[in-house]
Amino acid sequence: METALKENTVQHGLLDGFVDQPAHQAKKFSDANIWQNTPLWGILSEGVARHPTKTAVADPSGALTYADLLQAADEMAAGLQDAGLTAGDRVVFQIANSLSFAKVFFALQRAGLVPVLALPAHGIAEISHFIKLAGAKAYFGSNLDNDGKALNIADALSREFEQQLSHIYIAGEAGKYSTLPQGNAAQFIPVASAPEHPALFLVSGGTTGLPKLIPRTHNDYRFNIQSCAAASDFSSEEVYLAVLPAAHNFTLGCPGLLGALQVGGKVIFTANPSPDYCFAVIEQDKVTATALVPALAQLWTAAKEWENADTSSLRVMQIGGSKLAYSDALAVQKAFPGALQQVFGMAEGLIACTRLNDDEELIAAKQGRPVSQWDEVRIVDDEGAPVELGEEGELLTRGPYTLRGYYRAQEHNARAFTQEGFYRSGDRAILDENGYIVVTGRIKDVVNRAGECIATDEIEEQLLMHPNVAQVAVVAVPDQHLGEKIGVALVKKNLAPTLQELRSFLKQQGLASFKLPDELHIVPSLPKTAVGKIDKKRVLGPDGSPWVNTQI
Ligand code: OOB
């Protein structure tokens, strides 16, 4: 363990625009020992102290033990300090699932640098926005598959941020840019950042405009990881397959790769989410845990019909990020017996999940309960008043790992939080008497048809029960007479259904006639967000004309 720790005194504006927990809450969390006042990099250094020679991380290029990973991180951290980056500096981090992800992530933590965790699918618009907003000095990209995308981003950034962006590093083929630096680890002293200050910024999966920055502190993120690891029964035997982008909260810390490392397990990175590839890895490496979005889980479930690989080592298959339809949940339970865990989470904080020993029916039907008893969840009506138990409303939340404000977003924060500091999630949900949550949609996701407000998710849920519907998005289509009409874009299973068939199917299911779809478009695929959720706002073209943007 480290003896001498360098005080992180200079923050270079890190705290400008950071909203922390009120002092009395912070004291309460520390007194209760849920905030442990240790740095995020402790996950790795504690692992080195306990089991240095165990494998920590692997990808197709090789593997590193806990000691190797810390050594590699410290060499890089020393190199970054030599290059003039100092504690509290913000950097934008956009690295694909690989050993480099782990090395750079821990190097940044050891050097006290604060990364914005961009996703590989983000383009120049988002990256440039992150650099501006965070006042970042450095960009870390990866060109591991040699597609040149990171180099194009680097070119654009070096033109746009000639002054501000002093460092660009590329993992893999770096072209004219610097490869990741290496300094002398023996001379290196890790930075002891203040544990109540941001350790990293997650980006919001928001439905409008550019993503916002979500500060996650050492204290809150470690508690997040630890609570999720407990809720998923993570142990030192864990072999975690990082399939979704590692920079997304789900894969990173819920419990994700950091949760697996926290308990002494092993993390395998893959940049290839296809079932044929992943099933082979699961069989060969005896993978025990992974996390998927529903669209990917559907693919994996279907592939079980023809792939013969033995996936029985998979103890927990977490599915979250968007609503897992009940019918899909049943199919997952059949294909991967005993493994389904639904997770309802958000980069902003609150994580809820079903528990592995819950009743199978509950696991299929509900999104779960909070991972910590310190999480506060409220369901409120349009006026912000709490609804009766079992009634639908907007989900608000507050707690020891939920943000108190987006970074540098004062105006937005005034709307996104209540006076008492509850985060308004924008999710519509129902709470049961045991604290389990059923998510019923987004509060704003409605079609206003002739004055009637219709929640699209109810129609989607019903349509997914149809045997020929694989994926579906119900959206508002502008209409001269009705204001908006109900449009359906769907990916078919087997035979394509007609609009008439769907309308009579929905009628049979008991749906009111004003909720029946007006238009149907069969599409080869639906647009997806950077983490692979169906991106409903892109189903409709930018000029308001329907279905132009469905080829992604
Ligand atoms: C996860 O995080 P984000 O920040 O990308 O997205 C959060 C939003 C939630 O507010 C909700 O609208 C939706 O994604 N969501 C779900 C869901 N899980 C997330 N909606 C319905 N059912 C679910 N199970 O997506 C995220 C972060 C950590 C763990 C898991 C997911």
Per-residue pLDDT reduced to its tens digit, 361-382 = 999 999 999 999 999 999 999 9
Q: What average pLDDT is seen over the chain?
A: 94
More confident residue, 205 or 343: 343
Q: Over range 497-501, report the average pLDDT.
A: 96
Tally of domains in the chain: 2
**CB 83, CB 75: distance < 8 Å:** no
| CATH number, domain with residue 477 | 3.30.300.30
Q: Which of 442, 457, 478 is the last residue of a domain?
A: 442
Q: Is residue 311 part of a domain?
A: yes
- Cα–Cα distance measured from residue 186 to residue 204, given in angstroms and rounded to the nearest whole number: 38
- Of all protein residues, the one whose alpha carbon is nearest to atom 19 of ligand 1 is 321
> Is residue 294, in this structure, part of any structural domain at all?
yes
Give the DSSP per-residue string, 498-512: PHHHHHHHHHHTT--
Q: Is 519 within 8 Å of 552 (Cβ atoms)?
A: no
At residue 96, the pLDDT reads 98
Predicted confidence at residue 205, as pLDDT, reads 84
- The domain that contains 272 carries what CATH number? 3.40.50.12780
Query: Could you tell me if 317 and 359 lie in one domain?
Result: yes
311-348 burial string, b = 16+ CB within 10 Å, else e? Answer: beebbbbbbbbbbbbeebbbbbbebbeebbbbbbbbbb
On whether both 487 and 353 belong to a single domain, the answer is no
Q: What is the pLDDT of residues 2-41, one digit of tens each?
A: 334 444 434 569 999 999 999 999 999 999 999 999 999 9
Question: How far, in Å, are 257, 340, 354, 431, 513 from residue 361 at the CA level?
Answer: 28, 11, 11, 17, 30
Per-position DSSP letters for 178-200, written without gaps between them:
BPPP---GGG---EE--TTSEEE
Checking if the pLDDT of 211 tops 60, the result is yes
Question: Do residues 332 and 230 share a domain?
Answer: yes
Domain assignment of residue 259, yes or no = yes
pLDDT value, residue 495: 94
Task: For residue 420, report the distance from its CA to the centre of ligand 1, in Å.
Answer: 23
On whether both 264 and 374 belong to a single domain, the answer is: yes
Instruction: Please give the Cα distance from 245 to 292 (Å, whole number).
Output: 10
**Atom of ligand 1 at shortest range from CA of 442:** 12
425 CA closest ligand 1 atom index: 10
The predicted model scores a pTM of: 0.94
Q: Which of 442, 466, 486 is the last residue of a domain?
A: 442
- Whether residue 389 lies inside any domain: the answer is yes
Q: Are residues 294 and 377 in the same domain?
A: yes
Could you tell me if the CB of 245 is within 6 A of ligand 1? no
Helix, coil or strand: residue 63: strand
Give 534's DSSP letter: B
Containing structural domain, residue 496 = 446-551
Does 544 score more than 90 pLDDT?
no
What average pLDDT score do residues 334-357 get?
Answer: 98
Provide the CB-side half-sphere exposure for 218 (13 A, CA). 22
pLDDT interval class at 548 (50, 70, 90): low
> ∠284-286-288 over CA atoms, to 5°?
145
Which pLDDT score is estimated for 9? 38
Domain shared by 290 and 341, yes or no: yes
Residue 405 maps to a domain: yes
- Residue 165 CB–ligand 1 contact under 6 Å: no
Within this chain, do residues 398 and 505 fall inside the same structural domain, yes or no?
A: no
Atom of ligand 1 nearest to the CA of 347: 4
* 345 and 305 fall within a common domain: yes
Q: How many separate helices (H) and strands (E) can be counted in the chain?
A: 16, 26
pLDDT value at residue 261: 98
Residues 6+ apart with CB under 8 A from 383: none
Are both 391 and 494 inside the same structural domain? no
Residue 191 lies in a domain: no
Q: What is the whole-number distance in angstroms between the Cα of residue 172 and the centre of ligand 1? A: 31
Measured from the Cβ of residue 436, the count of other Cβ atoms closer than 10 Å reads 20
Per-residue model confidence as pLDDT tens digits over 254-294: 999 999 999 999 999 999 999 999 999 999 999 999 999 99
Going by pLDDT thresholds of 50, 70 and 90, the confidence category of residue 77 is: very high
Residue 195: inside a domain: no
pLDDT tens string 463-488: 999 999 999 999 999 899 999 999 99
Name residue 546's amino acid.
Answer: P
pLDDT tens sequence across 385-409: 999 999 999 999 999 999 999 999 9
Identify whether residues 279 and 423 lie together within a single domain: yes
Q: Is position 176 within any domain? A: no
Give the number of other Cβ atoms within 10 Å of residue 145's Cβ.
14
Per-residue tokens: 436 = 């389990």
pLDDT at 7: 43
Tell me how far the alpha carbon of residue 210 lies from the centroid of ligand 1, in angstroms. 17
Q: Give, in order, the Cα–Cα distances in Å from 354 to each of 130, 140, 320, 363, 533.
A: 34, 36, 11, 6, 20
pLDDT value at position 543? 61
Given a cut of 90, whether residue 133 has pLDDT beyond it is: yes
Is there an atom of ligand 1 within 6 Å of 295 CB?
no
The verdict on 363 and 299 lying in the same domain is yes
> What confidence score (pLDDT) does residue 206 get?
61
| Rg, Å, the chain Cα set | 23
Predicted local distance difference test score (pLDDT) of residue 1: 37
Q: What was the pLDDT predicted at 540?
A: 75
Is 458 found in the same domain as 423? no
**Residue after which a domain boundary falls, among 414, 442, 470:** 442
Ligand 1 pocket check: which of 214, 296, 332, 344 to mutate, most ligand atoms within 8 Å of Cβ?
344
